[in-house]
Amino acid sequence: MFSTVLIANRGEIALRIARACRELGMRTVAVYSTPDRDSAVVRFADEAVHIGPAPSKASYLNIPAVLEAALLSGAQAIHPGYGFLSEDPDFAEVCEANGIFFIGPSARVMQQLGDKAAARAAMAEAGLPVLPGSTTALSGPAEAKETAQQTGFPVILKAAAGGGGRGMAIVRDPDDLSAAFQETRAHAYAVFGDDRLYLERYIDDARHVEVQVLCDRHGSAIHLGERDCSVQRRHQKLVEEAPAPGLSEELRTSICEAAVRGARAVGYVGAGTFEFVLTQSHEFYLMEINCRLQVEHPVTEMVTGVDIVREQILIAAGLPLSLRPGDVVPRGVALECRVNAEDPARDFAPAPGRLTEFVPPSGPFVRVDTHALPGWQVGPDYDSLLAKTVVWAPDRDQALARMDRALGEFRVSGEGVSTTIDFLRRTLVRPEFRAAEHTTGLVAKMLDT
């Protein structure tokens, strides 16, 4: 077991990881940028190390600074959370070279699955259904056009090194493909430092369903069920639900078993997520694999009773999974709503500012993962997530009522600060959402009405 774990992240997820470590009796080290010096995790952790100024490249993405903090603090392991360095195989490799455990899959597996085009090819070979499209990164607009003609429009261009809903462009008209290719390639390079793109068929009116897997170093691999993440803006999720509503048991089993088969095929170790697109005719296709903890992991924890962060740490320490497939029996329904400092009326533009009031909801079966507090400065440098409001109930109707009650209790204010709370409440009462007939196009539809 580890005596000290460094948390290479910030915000609510850094605090979530620190709490799991504290419960395991492990000492925690927080790293922080200059504007985060008074953050919740800095106050909570046993030690805190300053690693640079506000820009992520100079702090949370600064591998030498993070590594030096780990070595100086005596950390045996680093938990990367999500985002930042969590899916960087170079960082995992550097950790290993310096005798530090990376709490996640190996650099080799991350390299293979982090390249989305390569991951598609590997999963197709393992027998998972993948959308028609390119099998390798595209050489340029000409190859993109040729592939799109074979695939059929609409298509979606994606960054091979992408993630988090960034580096994507939907193209419906062949005449727009070349310009979209150049624009998406430039964006991919700016965000990921890698301009390679691949292309696949885009499915309109689809659902986004993902499966949580856990795999240890001893050959055990299980799933913790699936989640629905179809409520999205700009390919980024707003509402998540477990289990995914409206799926037959046969379909649910097929999707979850496909995820485990894919994990086994590449020798995956740790917590990971297999993301699928589900058509209206209930055909499913793999979209991508996330080699990290997901923002929405709490809904799975709420219905299974499994502490996923704890399991991640124990797996990294070399312990075998304590769970077998039959041990995981989801109960009830959990929902998560992301309360972001954004203005839905301005296409969800960031709305930073200093919080003068921040009172999260409470009550039975309500969980709020947050790092915010009154007086906290919500800055422009990082993700706009303020809090994840999560509820559980025995059935979906009760869960929806509980979430609406919880969001109605939330009090957030500050000069210049807007949030997604009212928009989330409007989403919950949409007829298609109530009937579990919503797709990834729901938010766009709401903005048009």
What contacts 24+ positions apart, CB below 8 Å, involve 171-174? 171/202, 174/145, 174/148, 174/149
User: CA 238 to CA 208: how far, in whole Å?
Assistant: 12
Q: Which of 10, 185, 201, 292 is catalytic?
A: 292
The two structure tokens encoding residue 178: 């070349």
Q: Is 292 a catalytic residue?
A: yes
Q: How distant is the alpha carbon of residue 109 from its chain centre?
A: 18
418: β partners: none
The two structure tokens encoding residue 125: 């070979």
Query: Under the phi-then-psi rule, with left for phi > 0, alpha for psi from -120 to 50, and beta for the rest, what region is 434?
Result: alpha
Catalytic positions, written as ranges = 292
